[in-house]
Amino acid sequence: MERERFLVTLVLTFFIALGVNLGGSLLGSLGALLLRRPPLKTALELSGELKIWALVAALGGTFGVIRTFEAGVLDKQFFNLIRQLLIVGSAFLGAHLGHLLILSLGLRR
């Protein structure tokens, strides 16, 4: 049960970060189109800027992560520390994949 919940958390974290990056970049480019700015250039810029925000949004706030890191190091709960690092990695991979997908749109002119 605990393992299943952890896998669900990993997958959801990945797709939340991916969705924040893709959605923010694509909707931001729509706004740029309305303002008669270059939408592709805007999407590329936004995608890079949104990576960190996608990571934070997927983690649901940083205090829980910091507390888990602290407990993992100070209380020698290394299993929880590794699990939290995997969740952070999952969020990073989702945000980065979103960025790469937007970059690939920009390369096809």
Q: How far is CA 78 from the centre of its chain?
A: 24
46 to each of 28, 52, 55, how far by Cα in Å? Answer: 7, 11, 14
Q: Are 82 and 40 in contact (CB under 8 A)?
A: no
- Condensed to tens digits (0 to 9), the pLDDT of residues 65-95 reads 666 666 666 677 778 778 888 999 999 999 9
Average pLDDT over residues 10-32: 94
> For 27-80, what is each residue's pLDDT tens digit?
999 999 999 999 999 999 999 999 999 988 888 865 566 666 666 666 777 787
Rounded to an integer, what distance in angstroms lies between the CA atom of residue 3 and that of residue 86?
Answer: 13
Residue of higher predicted confidence among 44 and 109: 44
3-state secondary structure of 1: coil
Q: What pLDDT shows up at residue 94?
A: 96
Average pLDDT over residues 1-16: 89
Query: Domain segments of the chain: what residues?
Result: 2-107
